[in-house]
Amino acid sequence: MPSLRKVVIVDYKLSNLFSVNNALKKININAQISSYKKDIASADLIILPGTGTFSAAMKNLRENDLLDNLASHIKNGKPFLGICLGFQLLFSSSSEIKKTIGLNIFKSKIKKIKNETHAVPNIGWNKIKIIHKKNPKLKSEYFYFVHSYYADILEKEQKIVSSYIEYQKNKVCSSITYNNIFATQFHPEKSGKKGLELMKNIIKFYK
């Protein structure tokens, strides 16, 4: 992997930019917040955070003409970190509000969590369970979640799942690892010391 001379947090007007940036500062990483194509194109590591709806996110990325740049970054093997909504956008589509096509890096779909035994959205701390210990190093720790939708991983894509949580009596994907991509349904930047440790491990892995 190339050295991380330029870390860019993508600003698409829906995301928790400053909490991510503040977390990076705590581990001595200077990042640039930007919605400009030239910055995305020249980034060594892209971070796509997110809060809000899938459809609004894709609309904003499209209007800022960033979709091709994000796809090229990933296709060219450059490091990519997706957080929460930024994790979900990697998949083919979502049923949130209306069916919306995503970045389509993976063919699995984003679906609404069924209200069975727990309240929806899933808000709070949950302990992730590790499926494989690919880098960056994951540990079975508690992380902070806020989401009403989840990635329904296809059988043929199960190899990308690096951890899961148990919720509504089901296993819910909590992170994926695939080549240059690492993405989490949870918020490491809001998960205290353990979250910062994970972000530090991600940066170390990509350096």
What does the pLDDT profile of the chain (207 residues) look like in tens digits? Answer: 446 789 999 999 887 899 999 999 999 999 999 999 999 999 999 999 988 899 999 999 999 999 999 999 999 999 999 999 999 999 999 988 889 999 999 999 999 987 655 566 888 999 999 997 666 778 899 999 998 899 999 999 999 999 999 887 788 999 999 999 999 999 999 999 999 999 999 888 877
DSSP for residue 168:
T
- Quick one: 7-206 is in which CATH superfamily? Class I glutamine amidotransferase (GATase) domain (3.40.50.880)
* Tokens at 112, concatenated: 């609404």
What pLDDT score was predicted for residue 52? 87
The position carrying tokens 């860019």 is 8
Task: To the nearest 10°, report the CA torsion of 158, 119, 199, 177.
Answer: 10
Contact in structure between 60 and 51 (CB atoms under 8 Å): no
Which residue numbers are catalytic?
84, 187, 189
* Tokens, residue 57: 């996110």
Domain residue limits, the chain: 7-206
Q: Which residue pairs, CB below 8 angstroms and at least 24 apart, start in 161-164?
A: 161/131, 162/130, 162/131, 162/132, 162/134, 162/138, 163/128, 163/129, 163/130, 163/131, 163/138, 164/128, 164/129, 164/131
pTM as predicted: 0.93
Contact present, 93 and 151 (Cβ < 8 Å):
no
